[in-house]
Amino acid sequence: MTGFTHFDAAGNAAMVDVGAKPETARAATARARVVMQPATLQMILQGHAKKGDVLGVARLAGIMGAKRTADLVPLCHPLPISAVTVDLTPQGEDAVEITATVRTTGRTGVEMEALTAASIAALTVYDMCKAVDRGMRIEALRVVAKSGGKSGDFVQD
């Protein structure tokens, strides 16, 4: 493991200078899971949530979140994102798995954008369903794949 990159020689927080890095195609995929009561998942799947199409709104929120990552995470570079996909898939009888993939051609990776997309989508599911299920849990937020850049590819199950 290498040292932390977001600190200068004096230990102060600093934005990494990526100016000398070559532009390469980059992608990252992150996942999260929202665990809920089985009745809550059925309400979502049947389209009976009072606030509307939970999965559709969460998908849009995740895409919007990816685009605003640099505004939310202090040392992230604003990036020209070329694509964002957010998929929300029922898992078992009590969960929704969220998979967010972000692509760009640039000098730095899009892991933070993928994590933000998955996080915001999960928070939106929670927000839209909290009136009927306050015990929902957001779990297992993680990067599962990345490609491009000097450090190469990474895949995690």
Q: How far apart are CA 60 and CA 140, in angstroms?
A: 21
Q: How far apart are CA 98 and CA 32, in angstroms?
A: 5
- Catalytic residue, from 71, 127, 133, 153: name it: 127
Q: With beta carbons less than 8 A apart as the criterion, state whether 148 and 26 touch.
A: yes
Instruction: Decide if 127 is catalytic.
Output: yes
Give me the sheet containing 95-106, strands edge to edge.
81-91, 95-106, 24-35, 137-147, 154-155
Structure tokens at 139: 């779990």
Radius of gyration of the chain (CA): 17
Q: How far apart are CA 70 and CA 73, in angstroms?
A: 6
The residues assigned a catalytic role are: 127
